[in-house]
Amino acid sequence: MKIETCYSPLTYPLFHNAEAIVVVIDVLRATSAMVTAIANGATSMIPVATVEEAKALQVSGCLAAAERNGEKLDGFDFGNSPISYLDQQIVNKTIAISTTNGTQAIAVASEAKQIVIGAFLNANAVIQYLKDQKRDVVFLCAGWKNKFNLEDTLFAGHVANELLKTDGFETECDSTIAAGVLYEHAAQDLFGFLDKSSHRNRLSHLNLEADIRFCLQLNLYDTVPVSNGDGVLVSHTSLAKV
CA dihedral 107, 110, 111, 112 (to 10 degrees): 110
- Residue from 3, 7, 31, 67 in contact with a copy of itself (CB under 8 A): 7
Which residue, 201 or 207, has its beta carbon nearer to a copy of itself? 201
Q: Identify the residue among 197, 222, 232, 239 touching a copy of itself (CB under 8 A).
A: 197
Residue 153 interacts with a copy of itself (CB under 8 A)?
yes
CA–CA distance, 207 with 199 (Å, rounded to integer)? 11
Q: Is 214 in the site for a copy of itself (CB under 8 A)?
A: no
Taking the least distance from each CB to a copy of itself, the nearer of 65 and 179 is 179
Which range binds a copy of itself by CB under 8 A, 34-42, 74-82, 147-155, 215-223? 147-155
Nearer to a copy of itself (CB atom), residue 68 or residue 148: 148
Contacts of residues 83-87 at CB distance under 8 Å and 24 or more positions apart, as own/partner, are 83/36, 83/210, 83/211, 83/214, 84/33, 85/33, 85/36, 85/37, 85/40, 85/42, 86/36, 86/40, 87/40
Residue 124 sits in the site that holds a copy of itself (CB under 8 A):
no
**Residue 8 found at the interface with a copy of itself (CB under 8 A):** yes
Identity of the residue numbered 238: S
18-to-15, 172, 182, 219 alpha-carbon distances in Å? 10, 18, 28, 29
| Minimum gap (Å) between residue 181 Cβ and a copy of itself | 6
Q: CA 121 → CA 25, 137, 197, 202, 236, distances in Å?
A: 11, 19, 20, 22, 15
Residues 154-193 that bind a copy of itself (CB under 8 A): 172-175, 177-178, 181-182, 185
Residues within the interface to a copy of itself (CB under 8 A):
7-8, 10-11, 14, 144-150, 153, 172-175, 177-178, 181-182, 185, 196-198, 201-202
